[in-house]
A and B are shown apart, each in its own frame.
Chain A
């Protein structure tokens, strides 16, 4: 989403200039956004690296995107290693510092960040060129050292080889010989037919550290003299601290201090347990004058009333009113989608050290330059005085991509409140996370659609009511146009089915609950409503759900491609055991196309069990097919657990849920068999972190309908009376 919409803002990268500083220390190849060529050995080139090759024969790829499990560090390294012809085992990864000029997301403009499943898509050429440029320098270094023509030197698995003379050298050995060499402007890239790493399931770079307990997450950062803080936040969103009494909290052994900070009251302690106990002992009076006090039911009732009024038009083709009036059959439904929390496995946390003229922040940083800027503003520093140390992120699903850097900003306020006396680790507990807002917005969709005498869809009216994610954020300017927040209507506005009369309109009411993108953003609800409605249309037309969809997708060949592949692999239409049924859904998000066939069974006792999901994905060229499969599995499990039973509900403005027992993710015992098929493609790679999620809920809902004749319009399924075995 961000990707496509921020594209206009994309800065020109024509000034693709490289400098090699072939000192004995390291061969560094970097990009500079300016057009001035770099002198070899220019210290600035060292300052802007994408890849570093050192005399110890290590190739260090500098990742501008964070690693939250989606495989980016492996993917970016693959791009460099491929063009460099490095040996995969010599490749290491480190994270880039915050620097929007050098490490910006090329789809987003002057802003460094990861999201919208864009990491590999925006870096594909950039990281390949970095690898190719480094290779070119190494070849010329070897040519100089051996006094041979560069064109006779080949590179294989991290070695420079001259066949005729039998000479060969490692990259590391050639680093000193690269001194003074300047990189070419446009290095020659490989013919994709010759790729040896791209397109192969090579091992992930982060696996060893993640199987031995050695991977360092922000939660594991230890800075000398560090203390821990937790914050007591208000029970209702928008409430403020009126007064607090810290006397009991300060009696808890290990508690050091208690201070009001922007978002609540911070308890500082010698360790996490003391901080948590101190917080339990604290008493706070809240000023709720500006707090949100509505409950989910009231919000839904207001949305339902709004859905009776026309909204801002996101799309209008033909005349939907007349077409509906003339339809031979109509279907309609009101869909209800709850607030959803992301609950990444690592509760949010951040380590900060604040000094008079500088600060350092350690976190699994998704928007480094925003976090840098916000921290600097709070601490009265210049952005460049704030160092962001990116570490492994224990999951995000969108939660860490906050336009206001929420929890990093809190950490800065916590540090400021004690004048930087000690480095602080701000820790959120799971309860803080579940109750902490920044949810997928609650949404209500009203859809009415009709078919003509031949059964073809003739009218589609979709009215969406939901909070804008982007209003009031720095993204508002590019992503909200004519009152339409693109993230509210994506996936509905660009419906993949050819319908001559279509209207999509939108209400974006204000609610005092902070909302945020959640794995696949608007597609999490539009993918559901559109795929359930189209299933209902197929039924009204008396046609097979797969064949019916394919008929309406004449202008959407990649949708049709994945749908056919999933149907074929799932043996769509084939026999199933008694009590089993299949359902299907297909949806594009972030320029990747995913179809899923769900098989469900009614178990003894009447509960539903999801038995198998067959998934087909078209994400262009799959840089690492195993990572693509992993991301589909991940998106499916995330989406399935949520659809079955997850909801954040409010009562009088207070969140009902508080931890995993009442916001319970899918467990291994409930996980269906999952089969993933990747469409063979030479198109440019597109994202895979999110697109696996939207189709699973509607595919399962359509299968449940096929099994038991019940349509599900209110999510989660548990709210519609569906029991799972």
Chain B
């Protein structure tokens, strides 16, 4: 049995200690907004916030998640998140949409640390998130747009 603080609640799950957080979130807690894309830290589809920092949930075993606070796309709730999601909608960023939870979690993490990122900052922060549909041009645009919303 492991306890997990997630989206403001404490949940207990009965899984092996080596179970990646990703599968705990998806299969045990049925929070399916967080996606499985590669399982090897190469795509970012599984990105959640661990103590506020974007983290690949496929790489964090539940036994190593004791005491941390996890936020998934379902639990996003901040002015930065609102600005990011609004910008994403205004620019119609998603295509298939499968990578977008991870992209949004990563972008919220970036803007929380750096409210006015340059193109280079965006590249550095977002390069770990693959979008197979190639929505990168709009992701970049939407991050700038969200930054603009946060300025006001």
Chain A interfacial positions (CB closer than 8 Å to B): 67-71, 203-204, 206-217, 219-220, 222, 228, 253-254, 271-274, 277, 343-347, 392-395, 397, 429-430, 626, 630, 633-638, 659-661, 664-669, 671, 673-674
In the bound assembly, the distance between CA atoms of A347 and B36 in angstroms comes to 8
A213-B34, A346-B35, A633-B138 as given contacts; A206 in contact with B94, CB under 8 Å: yes
Report whether A207 and B89 are in contact in the complex, using a CB–CB cutoff of 8 Å: yes
Report whether B26 and A272 are in contact in the complex, using a CB–CB cutoff of 8 Å: yes
CB distance from B141 to the nearest CB of A (A): 11
Q: Tell me the nearest residue of chain B to A274, going by C-beta.
A: B16
In the bound assembly, the distance between CA atoms of A68 and B45 in angstroms comes to 17
Nearest 6 interchain pairs by C-beta: A213-B33, A637-B134, A69-B95, A394-B98, A210-B97, A69-B96
Q: Tell me the nearest residue of chain A to B132, going by C-beta.
A: A345
* Selected contact of B132 from candidates A217, A344, A671, CB within 8 Å: A344
Report whether A660 and B96 are in contact in the complex, using a CB–CB cutoff of 8 Å: no
A69-B95, A346-B98, A634-B95 as given contacts; A668 in contact with B140, CB under 8 Å: yes
CB neighbours of A664 from chain B (8 A):
42
In the bound assembly, the distance between CA atoms of A253 and B19 in angstroms comes to 11
CB neighbours of B45 from chain A (8 A):
345
Interface of B, secondary structure class, is loop
Counting residue pairs across A and B whose Cβ atoms lie within 8 Å, the total is: 178
A204-B92, A344-B96, A668-B123 as given contacts; A213 in contact with B73, CB under 8 Å: yes
Interface size class of B (residues with CB under 8 A): 35 or more
CB neighbours of B26 from chain A (8 A):
272
**With contacts A69-B97, A210-B94 known, what are 9 further pairs, Cβ within 8 A?**
A67-B96, A212-B85, A217-B98, A220-B32, A272-B27, A273-B15, A273-B20, A395-B96, A430-B37
Report whether B36 and A219 are in contact in the complex, using a CB–CB cutoff of 8 Å: yes
B127 in the interface (beta carbon within 8 A): yes
A659-B42, A669-B124 as given contacts; A213 in contact with B74, CB under 8 Å: yes
- Against A, the Cβ 8 Å flags (1 = close, 0 = not) of B105-147 are 0000000000000000011101111111111111110000000
CB contacts under 8 Å to A, within B28-62, are 28, 30-40, 42-43, 45
CB neighbours of B123 from chain A (8 A):
668-669
Report whether B33 and A211 are in contact in the complex, using a CB–CB cutoff of 8 Å: no
Q: What are 5 A-B pairs at a CB distance below 8 A? A: A344-B96, A392-B96, A394-B35, A630-B95, A660-B130
- Against A, the Cβ 8 Å flags (1 = close, 0 = not) of B4-21 are 000000000001100110
Report whether B132 and A665 are in contact in the complex, using a CB–CB cutoff of 8 Å: yes
Report whether A68 and B23 are in contact in the complex, using a CB–CB cutoff of 8 Å: no
Q: Tell me the nearest residue of chain B to A349, going by C-beta.
A: B36
In the bound assembly, the distance between CA atoms of A568 and B50 in angstroms comes to 49
* Selected contact of B135 from candidates A208, A213, A222, A630, CB within 8 Å: A630
Report whether A271 and B23 are in contact in the complex, using a CB–CB cutoff of 8 Å: yes
CB neighbours of A209 from chain B (8 A):
97
A272-B26, A660-B40, A671-B136 as given contacts; A392 in contact with B97, CB under 8 Å: yes
CB distance from A200 to the nearest CB of B (A): 13
CB distance from A429 to the nearest CB of B (A): 6
CB neighbours of B99 from chain A (8 A):
345
In the bound assembly, the distance between CA atoms of A519 and B28 in angstroms comes to 36
